[in-house]
Amino acid sequence: MVSQLLSCEDLDHVSYAKSLAAIQGEPSSCFQFVNNVLAHSAPCAYQELLENHAILLERIPEKHQTPHFIPYYYSLLPFEHLKYWEKIEVMNVQVGDLFIYIDRDYNPDPTTRVENAPSGTHVAIVDSVLKNKDVGNIELKLVDSSSRIRGRRCCYKEIAPVKRGSIAYSFLDMLLESTTGLWNIKFIGQKLLTNKYIHVLRIKNT
């Protein structure tokens, strides 16, 4: 278990992720941002995602298919056969890991969702582990792209982002529900989100 403050200065993909915030033009989704970072800073790991994306599209229902590698697809990866990726126990989260949440009631069919409603999923990059001393209680500082504004901070100055879809820091408190094994999560400045599956992925040192 990680129990101390960690920083991310020596992780290239984390540093690159933050650098994008200073030059961002158009808004981006969470997965567009992460895919961009991986393609630039971890091309072999990203290529492995693309290869498995093609395999997944042959196996899942047509209504669940998208041309982008969305957060939901991370949960379907065959980790035992991957060269560059491993799935990590949530309590062992570290700087540089990918953080993914998926709502318990997530529906992979986008045609069934109310227009402009949240998808119930998210992917981000862990910038710092702020707290992980108590079993089932973790606080993280993430670099992500999100429609959230309240509670977030720009990567290059201490102000909130001015528009939705901005790359910035998000601050997250997570509490494990021991009876269900699911997580309740709360971003600073946002309402509590309950019953989330959490996935933590790490790029292997190969």
DSSP assignment letter at 43:
H
Residue whose token pair is 């100055």: 157
Full residue range of the structural domain in which residue 182 is found: 12-203
pLDDT at 2: 32
191 within a domain of the structure (yes/no):
yes
Q: With 80 as the cut, is the pLDDT of residue 111 above it?
A: no
How many whole angstroms separate alpha carbon 125 and alpha carbon 144? 6
DSSP string, 96-111: T-EEEEEETT--S-GG
Residue 117 — very low, low, confident or very high, per pLDDT cuts 50/70/90?
low
110 within a domain of the structure (yes/no):
yes
How many whole angstroms separate alpha carbon 162 and alpha carbon 106? 29
Distances (CA, A) of 15 to 57, 74, 111, 195: 32, 22, 36, 31
The whole-model pTM stands at 0.89
3 within a domain of the structure (yes/no):
no
Cross-strand bridge partners of residue 166: 146
Q: With 70 as the cut, is the pLDDT of residue 5 above it?
A: no
86 within a domain of the structure (yes/no):
yes
The two three-digit tokens of residue 113, written as one number: 């969702």
Which tens digits make up the pLDDT trace of 49-59? Answer: 999 999 999 99
Residue 115 — very low, low, confident or very high, per pLDDT cuts 50/70/90?
low
Nearest partner of 61 among 107, 113, 101, judged by Cα: 107
pLDDT at 3: 29
Which tens digits make up the pLDDT trace of 70-108? Answer: 999 999 999 999 999 999 999 999 999 999 999 999 988
How many whole angstroms separate alpha carbon 197 and alpha carbon 168? 23
Number of structural domains the chain divides into: 1
Give phi and psi for 193, each to the nearest 5.
Answer: -110, 125
Mean pLDDT of all residues in 172-193? 95
2 within a domain of the structure (yes/no):
no
Which tens digits make up the pLDDT trace of 6-44? Answer: 333 445 788 888 888 877 778 899 999 999 999 999 999
